[in-house]
Amino acid sequence: MITTGFKDKIARLHLAAESWSPQQVLAWAFDAFGDQVAISSAFGAEGMVLIDMAFRVRRDFRLFTIDTEFLFPETYSLMDGIEQRYQIKIERVFSLLSPEEQEHIHGASLWARDADQCCNLRKVEPLRRKLSELDAWITSIRRDQTSFRKSAGKIEWDEKFGLVKVNPIADWTAKQVWEYLREHGVPYNSLHDQNYPSIGCTHCTRAIRPGEDPRAGRWPGLAKTECGLHVIEPVSPTPEAET
């Protein structure tokens, strides 16, 4: 049961952890939550940094991914490589609806007509279901990726999903990410070498052109920049929200 005292403790750690290295943040999370914490990854460059770091801190860490069943072959190939290199089993979480069931119920190409609903069905609901099993989750978001992420703490209370959220490389730059990958010989998605700095589903990701924002290839043509996993919803000021 989450108490006010526990949330206060997380709030204090939020400040203290600002000066911690990513490895220190990971070690704290593994010590504090044991098997009740897991890394969430879509295996972008940042995610690969985190997986490699975690392996050096605690070899039997938990790793899960939301498999929308619309990922690139290159992403599935990378997942196989991760399981072999780090000797772990990726926990794959799927939508309650297969792609065929989604088309039958909601019509063809839902992502083109209502991307938010498609993301809710294939990403947000599966994530919510997975997080309900955990006390904490670890992500590889960085503050300078999107406006929604700029206030991310390294350790924070996730009001949206009701557990602790740990973001060990929140203050890293893209340059640091790539330096780490090269320095440690970490594998990464081959699409990154084909002008895909950010990789999601095949239907909603394209290569970027010179000068474009690194996330311009996600949901091209739409104002959408996030699938909803890291978007903070407004918190009700009612007393119930304080519990």
Footprint on this chain of ligand SF4 (rule: CB under 6 A): 68, 70, 111, 115, 118-119, 122-123, 200-201, 203-204, 227
In contact, 86 and 51? CB cutoff 8 Å: yes
Active site residues: 227
Which candidate, 215, 233, 232, 214, places its Cα nearest to that of 224? Answer: 215
* Closest to ligand SF4 by CB, 88 or 199: 199
Q: What are the residues whose beta carbons fall under 8 Å from the beta carbon of 234, sequence distance 6 or more?
A: none
Q: How far is the CB of 126 from ligand SF4 (least distance, A)?
A: 10
Q: Measure the CA–CA gap between 13 and 2, rounded to whole angstroms.
A: 16
* Closest to ligand SF4 by CB, 13 or 227: 227
Q: How far is the CB of 194 from ligand SF4 (least distance, A)?
A: 19
Inter-helix orientation angle 45-57/22-33, to 10°: 60
Q: How far is the CB of 93 from ligand SF4 (least distance, A)?
A: 13
* Closest to ligand SF4 by CB, 93 or 155: 93
Write the Ramachandran bin of 189: left for phi over 0, alpha for psi from -120 to 50, otherwise beta. Answer: beta
* Closest to ligand SF4 by CB, 2 or 222: 222
Q: Measure the CA–CA gap between 92 and 212, rounded to whole angstroms.
A: 32
Q: How far is the CB of 207 from ligand SF4 (least distance, A)?
A: 16
